[in-house]
Amino acid sequence: MKRNKRLSVALHVLLHMAERPYAAMTSEEMAACAGTNAVVIRRTFAGLREAQIVSSLKGHGGGWRLVRPLSEITLEEVQRALDERVVAAPSPHDESPGCLIEKAIHLALDDAVAEANRVLDRRLATISLADIAADVYRLDRAVSSTPEDHKY
């Protein structure tokens, strides 16, 4: 299983956005935070805008803003808004079309993956972005000896 890159980018940028709650961030600024390009940001954040997690304004002084506090945004909600799983199982590909054994294996795996996704979704619904921000703060305090050392 592999982690979803687009979801990781979105979560990373959302937490940076929370550091400046009253200032909009441009797609370029967001891309710099995540080490990607502005087109990826705009495509990724379109789903978050539709889910009313962020808003955007075009033109001079425009950019992206969080619509709600981090405490009201869950990991499950972000995952759903992006229509991508936190963890993606490899897609089964038919190497032997028509093989009953292969079909039975896929049926068994499909049920297991669906069950795992249900469990994961329930857990992700209990984790807010504020919880993650608190973890960032705790990690920063643990590794920083002076205020100048803070990394977030």
Q: pLDDT tens for residues 10-51?
A: 999 999 999 988 889 999 999 999 999 999 999 999 999 999
Residues of the chain with pLDDT under 70: 1-4, 89-97, 145-152
Q: What is the dihedral of CA 12, 66, 17, 72, to 10 degrees?
A: -60
Give the pLDDT confidence score for residue 149 in this predicted structure: 56
Give the pLDDT confidence score for residue 51 in this predicted structure: 96
Give the pLDDT confidence score for residue 94 in this predicted structure: 55
Give the pLDDT confidence score for residue 42 in this predicted structure: 93
Give the pLDDT confidence score for residue 2 in this predicted structure: 43
The first and second tokens of residue 24, run together, are 């909009």
Distance (Å, whole) CA 13 – CA 6: 11
pTM: 0.79
Whether 75 contacts 127, CB under 8 Å: yes
Domains in the chain and their CATH numbers? 2-149 (1.10.10.10)
